[in-house]
Amino acid sequence: MPDFCTCDEWKNLKGNYPELFKWISPYGWIIEWKSLTDEKGYTQVHRYGIAISFCPMCGKKLINKEG
């Protein structure tokens, strides 16, 4: 995963939770998570995501992956 910020907290978060942040072209950087629920005897996977423009640790504007 590329770096979207240069702060020390980002490096710590990237090392501990590498799947939390993703780049999706139409939205930019997103925070993504999954939730598993039991519905009618089956496990359902629900995917959620929130687009972000600023680093959640230091508040700097995120580095755009596309340049």
Q: pLDDT tens digit string along 3-58?
A: 778 888 888 887 888 888 888 888 888 999 999 999 899 999 999 999 998 988 88
Total domains in the chain come to 1
Is-above-0.75 flag for pTM?
no
* 54 DSSP assignment: B
* 64 DSSP assignment: P
* 10 DSSP assignment: H
Stated as kind and residue range, the H or E segment containing 23 is strand 21-24
Q: Which amino acid is at 1?
A: M
Query: By residue range, what is the domain housing residue 31?
Result: 1-67
